[in-house]
Structure 1
Amino acid sequence: MSFFEVFDPAFRRFVLGNAPVKQLASGFDWAEGPVWFGDAGCLIFSDIPNNRMLRWTPGSGLTTFRSPSNYANGNTRDRQGRLITCEHGTRSVTRTELDGSITTLVDRFEGKRLNSPNDVVVACDGAIWFTDPHYGIASDYEGYKSEQELPCHVYRLDPNGSIRAVATDFNCPNGLAFSPDETRLYVADTGRVGMADPSHIRVFDVSPDGRLSGGGLFHEISPGHADGFRVDTEGHLWSSAGDGVHCLTPDGRLIGKIFVPELVSNLCFGGRARHQLFITATTGLYTITLNRNGMAYF
């Protein structure tokens, strides 16, 4: 059985013929938001409908990290190593402090409640960028069905606590990631519930003061959607898709696929050299070892 499909010979350098896709755990309803904690040697991820966050540790397996989790979705780390989480239930972005306490960073914009923050990245200047689609308030499955007070935007939360909408022309922005030098921001658009869904990734130029320009089409995912994605040290984007993980060049070309037996939601790099790809895929957690190193998400 082949775990790969190669569209460009360059992709053969990225994968290892004797490194399979392995299932690490199962039994979830919609696994999401994986983030690697290298200092603790573990992976944290969300199981949104079951209102919990889980920890997977090599040699020990699966344990509960937080339950209830306020229907947590996307996760990352800031430059101090603290966990940053998007919560559907509280319609907020939170930070888990080093002592375990939880701080609400933002839950409103211009006096109105956010929708359901989905995915999040932290820039080198400490600014927190996140997407705010309506998925967590559209039903009671991944949060609490509620009135939508704001359009679905991409936001930047500055270290001083000020917030601004930086991209306002999305149907429903979803996954996001920076290029290695943070001069480009990739954002997925997965469409509104009940409407025709886009399945593309857009790319923006990022100015030194954190403003975006451009926003043209980077890549159209098929089959499925680009939900979550991450970038390796050479700028290749590894995206979730309907049949697994797609590897895209910095100019948006599909050069290879990794097949996963379930619909993939998100992924991250981890392991001792950030050379393992951890994949959340509907009911399961998977991994594959690559000949690639991912960008560090602290």
Structure 2
Amino acid sequence: MSEDALYDIRDDRFRGLIVGNARLEELYSGCRWAEGPVWFSDLNCLLWSDIPNERMMRWVPDGCVSVFRSPSNYVNGNTRDRQGRLISCEHGGRRVTRTEFDGRITVLADSYRGKRLNSPNDVVVKSDGSIWFTDPTYGIMSDYEGHKAEPEQETRNVYRIDAPTGEIEAVVTDFIQPNGLAFSPDEKQLYIADSGSSNHEVPRHIRVFDVVDGKKLTNSRYFCSIDSGVPDGFRFDVSGNLWTSAADGVHCFAPDGTLLGKIKVPQTVSNIAFGGVKKNRLFITATQSLYSIYTTTNGAQYP
């Protein structure tokens, strides 16, 4: 595939982030809606979710793909905590869970102020061990990605789970449908996507907040909009560039919000994760498939 066919370069800075002769590799196909990729460097594998098929998948560099967990309780977003344990958002259980090293599953959050969560969607872990997650209603809107139900929460919130106490607090309550989220590499800001629903005017933007005392969010402001589809999952590289999912591929934004360019993907992209030995391989979940492409930058993620 030629550079013009694979990349949409909007700013010359993007040329310094891409490998001109790289291929977009389809690593697996057969999902119904692929989501939640997370790289395990110590195990040299990638896990991701296939939500409607209620399973989690595992890919290893020799090309072997296997089922990691089935049934998965309609897991969507995944990440790892500072100890390397898997943290997952379950649509089916309407909860956030942790998979212990012995395989046991610990429930971290399933309610707020006595009412069930909507359907936790995406999750990140800060260096202090606190867990931050979004809670839109996508997983209870139908039986396709969870169990249809009426929401008990009055709003679609972003929550923080305190590491020492396990207490849950809503840190943002004014989103239409909060979706992907990620901390800046220095953790001074938290970026959150708002992707709307069929019942509302659909936003296509990512907002950014200042993180105060590691616990609160202030100074909400617009960061960028997506011109194709809506933003879903996204990640940062070590230089602070934001790589986000979109309907036509992966969009890359500079720290100042400038669209640098796009990687064209033939299916709607849901989420991404940097991985590989040097964290310079971008893994892309897109509708039915898992893709990857090498870059010249490295993902800002731990572990």
Match of 2:175 in 1: 170
Given the alignment, which residue of 55, 58, 81 partners 1:55? 58
Shift of 1:215: 1.5
Asked whether the equivalents of residues 8 and 262 of structure 2 are also in contact (C-alpha less than 8 Å), the reply is yes
Distance 1:230 1:100 in 2: 27
Distance 2:22 2:280 in 1: 12
Matched, 1:158 2:162: yes
Shift of 1:296: 2.1
- Give the 3-state SS of the residue equivalent to 2:52 in structure 1: helix
Shift of 1:156: 0.3
One-letter amino acid of the structure 1 residue matched with residue 241 of structure 2 = H
Gaps of 5+ in 2: none
Match of 2:291 in 1: 286
Match of 1:274 in 2: 279
Asked whether the equivalents of residues 44 and 53 of structure 1 are also in contact (C-alpha less than 8 Å), the reply is yes
Distance 1:13 1:192 in 2: 36
- Give the 3-state SS of the residue equivalent to 1:11 in structure 2: helix
- Give the 3-state SS of the residue equivalent to 1:49 in structure 2: coil
Given the alignment, which residue of 31, 34, 37 partners 1:31? 34
Deviations 1:48-80 (A, max 9, x none): 000000001111421000000000000000000
TM-score w.r.t. the length of structure 1 is 0.99
Q: Which runs of 4 or more aligned residues in structure 1 lie more than 3 Å from their structure 2 counterparts after TM superposition?
A: none
Match of 1:107 in 2: 110
Distance 2:276 2:268 in 1: 23
TM-score w.r.t. the length of structure 2 is 0.97
Q: Matched residue pairs, number?
A: 298
% identity of equivalent residues: 59
Asked whether the equivalents of residues 27 and 63 of structure 2 are also in contact (C-alpha less than 8 Å), the reply is no
Asked whether the equivalents of residues 135 and 193 of structure 1 are also in contact (C-alpha less than 8 Å), the reply is no
Shift of 1:229: 0.1
Match of 2:101 in 1: 98
Shift of 1:297: 3.1
Deviations 1:148-175 (A, max 9, x none): 0012000000011111000111000000
One-letter amino acid of the structure 2 residue matched with residue 166 of structure 1 = V
Q: What's the RMSD between the two structures over aligned residues?
A: 0.8
Given the alignment, which residue of 14, 18, 27 partners 2:17? 14
Shift of 1:234: 0.8
One-letter amino acid of the structure 2 residue matched with residue 65 of structure 1 = F
Distance 1:285 1:44 in 2: 10
Deviations 1:187-222 (A, max 9, x none): 000013332211100000001241101111100101
Asked whether the equivalents of residues 43 and 57 of structure 1 are also in contact (C-alpha less than 8 Å), the reply is yes
Distance 2:272 2:6 in 1: 16
Distance 1:165 1:193 in 2: 24
One-letter amino acid of the structure 2 residue matched with residue 63 of structure 1 = S
Distance 1:273 1:51 in 2: 31
- Give the 3-state SS of the residue equivalent to 1:153 in structure 2: strand
One-letter amino acid of the structure 2 residue matched with residue 100 of structure 1 = G
- Give the 3-state SS of the residue equivalent to 1:136 in structure 2: helix
Matched, 1:208 2:213: yes
One-letter amino acid of the structure 2 residue matched with residue 268 of structure 1 = A
Distance 1:297 1:226 in 2: 22
Distance 2:289 2:189 in 1: 31
Distance 1:15 1:192 in 2: 33
Given the alignment, which residue of 257, 262, 277 partners 1:252? 257
Distance 2:189 2:256 in 1: 12
